[in-house]
Amino acid sequence: MEAKQSVLIIGGGIAGIQASLDLASRGMKVYLVEKTPSIGGRMSQLDKTFPTMDCSMCILAPKMIECFRHPNITLLTYAEVQEVKGSAGNFRVKILKKPRFVDLEKCTGCGECAQHCPVEVPNEFDMGLGVRKAIYVPFPQAVPLKYTIDDENCVKCRLCQRMCKAGAINYDQPPETIDLNVGAIIVATGFELFDAQTRSEYGYGKYQNVLTSLEFERLLSASGPTGGHLLRLSDGRIPRRIAFIQCVGSRSLKGGVSYCSSACCVYATKEGVLIREHNPECEVYVFYNDLKVFGKGFQEFVNRAKNEWGVKYVRALPGEVVEDPKTGDLTIWYEDTTENVTKSMKADIVVLCPALVPRVTSKELAGILGLELDEFGFMKSRDPLFAPVDTNLPGIYICGYCQGPKDIPESVAQASGAAARAAEAIVAAGKEAH
């Protein structure tokens, strides 16, 4: 496939997946690079999606498989971009493929190896709430469904090698550098969570029953560490009241980021509704400042959460959360700003909604690509109004959360946008050639 007709896409989340499918299905060659062992990104970690309550994996998995099956898409998972040279129409790219120590050709994903692996480590996919083995797939629906030995934790007992009937285990697998020649590049590296520990007044990391929203999402998920049973991690008790705290590190001129993460108010509402579904006995309180309901169907969703599901909203950002060391119960101190009284509330679980921030690695990646970042580390649009997916460099485009806060549909639409621009660039390059 000649360079002009192929595109490199960095990041295998929903944005990267959508961009890949758009370009591949119009006949262009796509190299989809993902640094973890599986594509799927953040969306694969979600239980349901707002405001429709779609099961996230149900709607995502088919797209993941489509990527895997598509003749025009080459998946480069567990790989990272090392070097980029050249310009629009003709980029020369070096990709580092980290060793999985498992032969992708031979591995059938049967899982026999993991069944027998003696090493258990916290599972990144479950935000460390669950455990995985040292040889693992991040999650059951992983794509590709191929195992990976995580070198740091492997004890080299060789049990997996003995168990693997396909003989796929190869401890001596070397790292591999792949040279690509592409006409355009799309960056879709997504986001991560602001470290909630920096807001020490909420006791995250100190109190077991203070969780981040993504940890809680896993706790709710049928495929999560408790198999979808809503329990307190400290004592396995069924919670009677759960409180969400918004803006942990977002909209902050100090100790955080100054922007609004855009998704938290509504996903907290979603998680609130899920709690009430799981257990109508369990009260839900959402502590917020300004309820961000700007998206399509958001306000209606919040209304339903209030009226049909009895999710309660309090306009206040609590001052602090204190644990009773004996019971593990939490006391939240806050001023109800619409009732103008400062009071406390007991809760069994407190869920923090931390700011969503660009990947820490995006700085390094931007360096490799020569892209400009804004003050927050988001990839900078050439013109935030009329060229949102363009960057300072022709031929390199951005989409999804790495360009700025947005929800799934916005990321999907923008991913297609980036695909369109990439296609334009390639068409243009084609014209020049003739």
**If we measure between CA atoms, which residue out of 409, 425, 399 comes closest to residue 11?**
399
Strand spans (E) along 294-429: 312-315, 320-323, 330-336, 341-347, 349-354, 356-358, 396-398
Closer to another protein by CB, 87 or 198: give it: 198
CB of residue 109 to another protein, shortest distance in Å: 8
Closer to another protein by CB, 177 or 238: give it: 238
Between CA 28 and CA 9 the distance in angstroms is: 12
Closer to another protein by CB, 55 or 393: give it: 55
Between CA 262 and CA 294 the distance in angstroms is: 9
CB of residue 427 to another protein, shortest distance in Å: 5
Closer to another protein by CB, 80 or 410: give it: 410
CB of residue 362 to another protein, shortest distance in Å: 14
Between CA 69 and CA 287 the distance in angstroms is: 44
DSSP 11: -
DSSP 105: T
Cα 4 off chain centre by: 31
Count the neighbouring beta carbons within 10 Å of the beta carbon of residue 155.
10
Helices 264-278 + 213-220 axis angle, to 10:
30
Between CA 287 and CA 243 the distance in angstroms is: 7
**If we measure between CA atoms, which residue out of 371, 358, 402 comes closest to residue 257?**
358
Closer to another protein by CB, 281 or 324: give it: 324
Closer to another protein by CB, 262 or 362: give it: 262
CB of residue 59 to another protein, shortest distance in Å: 5
Closer to another protein by CB, 95 or 257: give it: 257
Between CA 295 and CA 225 the distance in angstroms is: 31
Count the neighbouring beta carbons within 10 Å of the beta carbon of residue 235.
12
Closer to another protein by CB, 255 or 367: give it: 255
DSSP string over 216-233: HHHHHSTTSTTTT----T
